[in-house]
């Protein structure tokens, strides 16, 4: 059993409705044991459909997949025993307390909170003072922590986390990823999806997904390395005018806002600093700064989307 990768996905396809909208289009990837693998893409890219097929809640219309060597169609019962799933939408019992929810999920899987407490301890301590509160009365961050505990309490071999950090503030997001790293150290395989590009760098490997198709699969470092152009970061006193002015320049291939800078690529190899500086001055912009910069995963995604 240890020779199998944790997840093998082959040409997995999902089609919805009478007009046959393709939600997942021949998606293939593998995830190794103990790997933290990220599916990175916006809403509507097909992430949730993939999760629901891998957790045996939805039948594929094409292709195949296995979890721990078990086929997602034939062996669905085996997968349901060993997989942990945290759906994107909060789906614990809102009328049960924190402790009752956890107890319920432990019991359903024929185990006890005590038996696997070590797995959830770090997370559960933060919830313990609310253990008698109804789940529906918890704040967003606390709900998320409880859902993770409930997905872990039967000691799954593979953990499926569908957008666990959507709508969560940056500080809580950071804490959540620290929790995931500790789980990974316990040799749990994790498939996680997120629309936040900055979280991609925290995964071992990632797949970028858009409109049902994978655009790229690799380590975050390699994806960034394969960015084909020299990327420049340009700043000026007013970003909105800077963007407008840059879009009129013949030499510019792309220009988009990126925090306090505008990220720019050119149609031809540089250097471009002098020309652009002169051009921007001429257009009446002030406080200009221009420098080459390292692309991020978000730059790579934008590049792939525009292809």
Partner 1 sequence: MSETVIHAENLTKRFGDFVAANALTLEVYKGEIFGFLGANGAGKTTAMRMFCGLSIPTSGKATIAGYDVYRQTELIKKNIGYMSQKFSLYEDLTVLENIRFFGGIYGLSNAQLKSKSDELITQLGLQHEAKKLVSGLPLGWKQKLSFSVAVLHQPKIVFLDEPTGGVDPVTRRQFWDLIYDAADKGVTIFVTTHYMDEAEYCNRISIMVDGKIEALDSPGNLKKHFQVDSMHEVFYQLARGAKRGE
Which of these segments, 8-16, 58-66, 73-81, 137-145, binds partner 1 (CB under 8 A)?
137-145
Give how far Cα 248 sits from Cα of 53, 242, 258, 280, 287, Å. Answer: 46, 10, 18, 11, 20
Which of these segments, 5-13, 37-45, 94-102, 214-222, binds partner 1 (CB under 8 A)?
37-45
Taking CB under 8 A as the rule, does residue 125 contact partner 1? Answer: no
Residue number with CB closer to partner 1 (26 or 235):
235
Taking CB under 8 A as the rule, does residue 177 contact partner 1? Answer: no
Taking CB under 8 A as the rule, does residue 130 contact partner 1? Answer: yes
Taking CB under 8 A as the rule, does residue 171 contact partner 1? Answer: yes
- Is residue 54 within 8 Å of 70, Cβ to Cβ? no
Taking CB under 8 A as the rule, does residue 292 contact partner 1? Answer: no
Residue number with CB closer to partner 1 (170 or 271):
170
- Is residue 161 within 8 Å of 192, Cβ to Cβ? yes
Instruction: Round to whole Å and give the CA distance between 278 and 281.
Output: 5
Map the footprint of partner 1 across residues 260-289, applying CB under 8 A: 260
Taking CB under 8 A as the rule, does residue 239 contact partner 1? Answer: yes
Size of the site for partner 1 (CB under 8 A): 37
* Least distance to partner 1, CB of residue 130, Å: 7
Beta bridge partners of residue 70, listed in sequence order: 67
Taking CB under 8 A as the rule, does residue 307 contact partner 1? Answer: no
Q: How many CB atoms lie within 10 A of CB 281?
A: 12
Classify residue 61 by its DSSP letter. S
* Least distance to partner 1, CB of residue 24, Å: 16
Residue number with CB closer to partner 1 (42 or 292):
42
Map the footprint of partner 1 across residues 70-109, applying CB under 8 A: none
**Contact mark string toward partner 1, 179..218, x via CB under 8 A:** ----------------xxx------------x--------
**Residue 28 contacts by C-beta under 8 Å, 6 or more apart in sequence?**
9, 10, 11, 12, 63, 214
Taking CB under 8 A as the rule, does residue 166 contact partner 1? Answer: yes
CA torsion 14→15→17→20, rounded to 10°?
170
Which of these segments, 51-59, 104-112, 136-144, 226-234, binds partner 1 (CB under 8 A)?
136-144
Residue number with CB closer to partner 1 (126 or 201):
126
**Residue 165 contacts by C-beta under 8 Å, 6 or more apart in sequence?**
144, 172, 173, 176, 177, 194, 196, 199
- Is residue 231 within 8 Å of 292, Cβ to Cβ? yes
Taking CB under 8 A as the rule, does residue 136 contact partner 1? Answer: no
Token pair 């988009």 in the structure block, residue = 256
**Residue 206 contacts by C-beta under 8 Å, 6 or more apart in sequence?**
37, 38, 39, 40, 200, 217, 218, 219, 220, 223, 297
Q: What residues make contact with partner 1 under the rule CB under 8 A?
A: 41-45, 126, 130, 139-142, 163, 166-174, 195-197, 210, 239-240, 256-260, 298, 301-302, 305-306
């Amino acid at each position: 059993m240890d020779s199998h990768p944790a997840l093998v996905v082959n040409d997995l396809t999902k089609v919805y409705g009478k007009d046959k909208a393709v939600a997942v289009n021949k998606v293939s990837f593998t995830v190794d044991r103990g790997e933290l693998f990220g599916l990175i893409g916006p809403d509507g890219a097909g992430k949730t459909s993939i999760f629901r097929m891998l957790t045996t809640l939805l039948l594929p219309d094409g292709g195949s997949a296995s979890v721990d060597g078990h086929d997602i169609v034939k062996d669905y019962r085996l997968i349901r025993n060993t997989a942990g799933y945290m759906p994107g939408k909060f789906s614990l019992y809102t009328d049960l307390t924190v402790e009752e929810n956890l107890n319920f999920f432990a019991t359903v899987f024929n185990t006890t909170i005590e038996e696997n407490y070590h797995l959830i301890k770090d997370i559960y301590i933060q919830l313990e003072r609310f253990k008698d509160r109804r789940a529906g009365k918890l704040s967003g961050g606390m709900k998320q922590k409880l859902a993770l505990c409930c997905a872990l309490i039967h000691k799954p071999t593979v953990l499926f986390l569908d957008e666990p950090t959507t709508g969560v503030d940056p500080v809580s997001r950071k804490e959540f990823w620290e929790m995931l790293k500790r789980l990974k150290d316990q040799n749990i395989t994790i498939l996680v999806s997120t629309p936040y590009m900055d979280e991609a760098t925290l995964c071992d490997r990632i797949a970028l997904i858009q409109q049902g198709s994978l655009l790229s699969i690799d380590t975050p470092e390699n994806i960034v390395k394969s960015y084909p152009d020299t990327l420049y970061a340009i700043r000026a006193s007013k970003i909105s005018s800077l963007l407008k002015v840059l879009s009129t320049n013949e030499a510019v291939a792309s220009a988009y806002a990126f925090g306090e800078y505008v990220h720019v690529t050119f149609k031809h190899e540089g250097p471009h600093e002098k020309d652009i500086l002169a051009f921007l001055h001429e257009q009446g912009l002030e406080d200009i700064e221009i420098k080459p910069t390292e692309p991020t995963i978000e730059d790579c995604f934008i590049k792939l989307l525009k292809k």
